[in-house]
C-alpha cells in the first residue's frame, strides 16, 4: 500500500512540475476538469481514492500521523466538494485560473514539494 502512496506522490509532483514549466497548460487542465460533470466527479473520485490510500497506508509510512491527517483531509474534501457543488466552486476556480503565471508557478512548486514528501513517506 505504501507503493501507492509513493505513486500518488510522483503523480502530484509531475502535475506540479508541469505547472512550473507551463502554467497555461495546468490552467487549461484544471479549467477543463472543473467545467464538465465528468471531470468534477473525477476530481472527487481521485481525492476519495487518495484519502483512502493515505489512511490505510499511514501506519506503514515514514510519517504515519502526517500521512493519516492528509488522508482524512482528502476524504473530507472528497465529501465536501459534491455538497458544495460545481456552481458554488466555479467562482473560486475562475479566480485561480485568472492568476498570473508566477502565482501558478508558486502553487505548482508547493505541489511538487507535497508530491516529493508523499513519495518519500511512502518509500
Q: Which three cell numbers stand for residue 5?
A: 502512496
Q: What is the pLDDT of residue 81?
A: 93
Residue 30 reports pLDDT greater than 90: no
pLDDT for 62-103, tens place per residue?
999 999 999 999 999 999 999 998 889 889 989 998 999 999
CA gap 95, 90 in Å, rounded: 9
Number of H helices, E strands in the chain: 6, 0
- The contacts of residue 6 (CB under 8 Å, 6+ apart) are 118, 119, 122, 123
Q: What is the DSSP letter of 62?
A: S
Q: Which three cell numbers stand for residue 62?
A: 515514514
Residue 14 reports pLDDT greater than 90: yes
Q: Which three cell numbers stand for residue 72?
A: 482524512
Total of domains in the chain: 1
- 3-state per-residue secondary structure call for 20-42: HHCHHHHHHHHHHHHHCHHHHHH
Residue 34 reports pLDDT greater than 90: no
CB atoms within 10 A of CB 30: 18
Segments forming the whole domain that contains residue 43: 2-122
**Are 15 and 50 within 8 A, CB to CB?**
no
Amino acid at each position: 500500500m505504501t507503493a501507492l502512496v509513493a505513486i500518488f506522490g510522483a503523480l502530484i509532483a509531475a502535475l506540479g512540475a508541469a505547472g512550473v514549466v507551463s502554467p497555461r497548460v495546468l490552467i487549461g487542465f484544471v479549467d477543463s476538469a472543473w467545467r464538465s460533470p465528468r471531470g468534477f466527479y473525477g476530481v472527487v473520485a481521485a481525492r476519495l481514492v487518495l484519502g483512502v490510500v493515505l489512511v490505510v497506508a499511514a501506519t506503514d509510512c515514514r510519517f504515519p500521523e502526517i500521512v493519516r491527517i492528509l488522508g482524512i483531509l482528502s476524504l473530507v474534501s472528497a465529501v465536501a466538494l459534491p455538497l458544495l457543488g460545481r456552481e458554488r466552486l466555479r467562482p473560486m476556480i475562475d479566480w485561480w485560473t485568472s492568476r498570473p503565471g508566477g502565482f501558478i508557478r508558486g502553487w505548482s512548486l508547493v505541489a511538487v514539494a507535497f508530491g516529493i514528501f508523499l513519495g518519500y513517506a511512502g518509500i
